[in-house]
Structure 1
């Protein structure tokens, strides 16, 4: 009885999936009955979906009568998804009243509850582990090596830009090191990965390699993308990617396009690590071929790996001059929040000669690792990394004394493709800053939507009940690569 009173009194303080009350810190419950108990004490207007007090006979917002609501039939089939399990239950959900006019026929309503990003990831990883074990056991039972027939070792997987006559598909156990001067160590999936390990190959996919470089700054995030952590004789590897807003597990084998001297053709990682070619191959399989990875935007890569939307700061605005102080403040706060940040040099008002003068690649994607100001904010610098590691940019403002101070902010060295650039030069050469909004502690809901082809088609209506706050409502358009 005492617990029931606590639930009634503190239901509004309970987070979606935390059984502990946020105000009094007593144990609550995560049952569906409790999740909607507070909602049943109030009522929702079908005209404006305003939540009214239980004693109100007229909607406080639009003055519609409560009796109209009471005459509407309610759906009795609800699917709840919580952070601990997936359950199907039949509950009358008074939160879901989609039909705001009598001309819309009531239909079966599905309710999705937000899931913590970490819990969603753990659920997907558990399912991927079951798939992995099934394939491994089948290979061992039949004494065979896994060959992915959905992404064959043929010209179709390379795409139109490449000819099979110039390359061959080689298994991990047979091809040489990623780099000619690499240490003669055993192949691993990952071994303390660092962004400086990564180098773009023959493929023009700097957008993907730059995103991978940013992710490699966070090895724990990388482990949740490449789910198979160890080399296996069967050649089975699982990669988790977010495609068109939905998480998918991609299965790939251990054969890769190589030159005839058995050197990897596309992206690679130093110290005989396979995580870069494995993830790149999973992306190629997802989109149809390696050629489909040519050309793209950094945000596409970040969304593939994090599932989170990206914010953009446009540095090339013909309508009005940019506020450099405001842009700097946004960049600095994003760096301090440890967000994933990229930038691109694709300005239409800067020609190739200018980029050549500064020895910076034009129409290229870079990682932003840090931003720092000296002399009471008078001298501002941005730390960039080139995934090619070929940029030879030098800055007269970055003297040895200044560089020594800046290295206390971030220890990245030139050999890894990293270099500091003065703020005014950055604004001159770069066209856009891309900032991933990924935060591992957030909750999210993912649902496929569609556009109607006819005005007579039934429509899907989404009603969001946000008990605390919302970070983003993000609509992702379908990828143009498929």
Structure 2
């Protein structure tokens, strides 16, 4: 299998002309279908992905099949079939005739995190209890988790051996059934040939994948790998381009592997850095230093050697970090999105997702090539991004970590029928306010150079950039390598605090645009207010807030009491002066615009108040996740007698909550607990 020569798309319905597609994957109700089969005493047969050669494909894969291909259910292949076993070594999956090592390498990485695996593979399915020959799997498909239903008829040869993915445990079938579900999602088994580890990792997690070219790897790559290994990421890698030929050193060219561990060991003379990998074939291993038969193991203590060395032809092996960088081309790290797992202390991220499209004649502007070519670049979709850092006890500008991901949507039902377009991201700093009802004009791109741009446009499903940006306003322009190329795409942005939306279009804004235009539009007013009084007190703050227009709240305008403004000022007043400066006020205003946006978004009945469910959703949108009980207590504490919370109370709650989190982070040493002295306890009590 070659990993790079063929680039594909998946599929999405509803487009015409050059993006015409075949009928969509059917929506099948797993529970209803299973109950019907149980009631009728029959086993499910999936007519949308039948047990025929049409599900295998129509290309070269047909030539590899055994002459007498049959389709059999697991109960026909083993006397005691098991869907999934927590005690079995889940890495013992082996690749079959399909050239989908990229899929299997990602799958093996997934098995190292069982809580993530269970999201893709519902582990409560079996061949005994309520068995009806039907199984269901879940994949992250361009912004949402989608179920894929299959029957359990699997292709086997004349001897009853699986011809595609199998397990070394002959009665274990979850891997083979998952491969079938992924083949159905992709169009056919044939469509699983040729791919990259990053694509499957994305479909398994909805995470953001980062690909590192090992020949150009940063000097701290070991530190990056260490952080990734212990940070609950999924890691794969790929060798240099080839045709899956086994080389003299035991590696396979043009092949994907799973990174399953790293280790710094103590040798007799110096430390050695080792990487553990697994070949999806379940056999064929590295033959160099630190391989199963290498003499280098004698450099370790007997105890460490016993722990690390397992002499089995199972496709698993160790090699030095130096050899790893020399013999592998790509390292793929999949970072999990905030919504997939529980939020960790100090690691709250905001997440926005926008959909867009490049359309010939309107929005398919192509890249910047020369100055004179920028007259088409500006036609690309444009997304305005406002970034700022949440309050952390200090109000000065610091770079913010921002991850931007661009996914191109499928252009055909069968992923191998149409190639991926080569895509990339341009990011510009916006130093002054523009009318966000219109796209930034051609002149902007003639006068401004991008902060970040693609060195090479990549024909991949996803491209991503990790950036450190100062708080401010930016423009993201996704584009294709050539003008007039058509496709749909998904843009995702992750940071601690941000707002991102498309300008010059009719698309829905995830967070209200007032965060940008009110901050920028009022900046001159703010400057005038502070000309004569460098610092303002609570009464002055009250007058300012009650005289400004809160256009994002509709007809219900908030009324800030003096007590509320004194509380707000106390949370912002870092030097105990009883006043705030213009910079502190600007930071407050940005926070208020975020709160206005999320409040308005959740106040869907325009009542001017939030109930418990709306409050919980608004706090989550603002980057603060609380469990249900705590959220209800907050509503009781800060809401009205009818358990409704108005905007002013919501502002007070959010500012206090973020301040309390900041205090906790400043006091804790390990993110788990704190020891409070009496003055600190009193301070936190007064904040609550």
State TM-score, norm by structure 2: 0.45
- Change in 2 beyond 3 A, CA 1:362/1:139: same
Aligned partner of residue 223 in structure 1, secondary structure: helix
After superposition, give the CA deviation of every residue in 1:21-65 in whole Å (9 maximum; x if it has no partner). Answer: xxxxxxxxxxxxxxxxxxxxxxxxxxxxxxxxxxxxxxxxxxxxx
Equivalenced residues, count: 339
Aligned residue in 1 for 2:315:
417
Cα distance, 1:133 vs. partner? Answer: 2.2
* Residue in structure 2 matched with residue 189 of structure 1 by the alignment: 84
Residues 195, 233 of structure 1: alpha-carbon distance in 2 compared, 3 angstrom cutoff:
closer
Match of 1:472 in 2: 403
For 1:383-407, what per-residue CA distance to the aligned partner results, in whole angstroms no more than 9, with x for missing partners?
1111112223233453144385656
Is the 1:228–1:238 Cα contact (8 Å) retained in structure 2?
no
Q: Which residue number corresponds to residue 302 of structure 1?
A: 201
Which residue of 1 is the match for residue 652 of structure 2?
A: none
- The correspondence for 1:278, drawn from 177, 192, 203, is 177
Answering whether residue 71 of structure 2 is matched by residue 169 of structure 1, we say yes
| Aligned equivalent of 2:247, options 356, 366, 385 | 356
3-state SS in 1 of match to 2:285? coil
Return the offset for 1:327.
Answer: 2.0
Q: Which residue in the other structure is 1:441 paired with?
A: 342
Other-structure match for 1:340: 234
Q: 1:471 to 1:417 in 2, by over 3 A?
A: farther
Q: Which residue, 220, 223, 232 being the options, matches 1:326?
A: 220
8 Å Cα contact 1:157-1:290 kept in structure 2? yes
Alignment partners' CA distance in 2, 1:134 and 1:357: 54
Partner residue in 2 for 1:371: 262
CA shift in 2, pair 1:471/1:237, >3 Å: farther
Of residues 408, 416, 436 in structure 2, which corresponds to 1:481?
416
Partners of 2:203 and 2:303 lie apart in 1 by 35
**1:229/1:269 Cα in 2 relative to 1: closer, same or farther (>3 Å)?**
farther
Aligned to 1:314: 213
CA-CA distance at 1:481 after TM superposition: 3.4
Determine which structure has the larger strand proportion and give its number. 2
Partners of 1:227 and 1:431 in 2: how far apart?
34
The residue that corresponds to 2:274 in the other structure is 381
Q: CA deviation at 1:143?
A: 3.3
**Mapping 1:100-139, distance limit 5 Å:** 131-139=29-37
1:123 corresponds to which residue? none
RMSD, aligned α-carbons: 3.3
Separation in 2, partners of 1:254, 1:352 = 30
Inter-CA distance 306–137: structure 2 relative to 1 (3 Å threshold): same
Deviation at 1:462, TM superposition (A): 5.1
For structure 1, the 5+ residue unaligned runs are 1-127, 177-183
Contact 1:369 1:385 in 2 (8 A): yes
**Cα pair 2:289 2:319 within 8 Å, conserved:** no
Matched residue SS, 1:384 = strand
Q: CA deviation at 1:256?
A: 0.8
Alignment match, 1:23: none
Q: Report the 3-state secondary structure (helix = DSSP H, G, I; strand = E; otherwise coil) of the residue aligned with 1:450.
A: strand
Q: Which moved more, 1:235-244 or 1:155-164?
A: 155-164
Whole-angstrom distance in 2 between the partners of 1:314 and 1:380: 19
* TM-score normalised per structure 1: 0.62
Look at both structures and tell me which one has the larger radius of gyration over its CA atoms. Answer: 2
From 84, 87, 93, give the equivalent of 1:198. 93
Alignment partner of 1:454 is 2:345: no
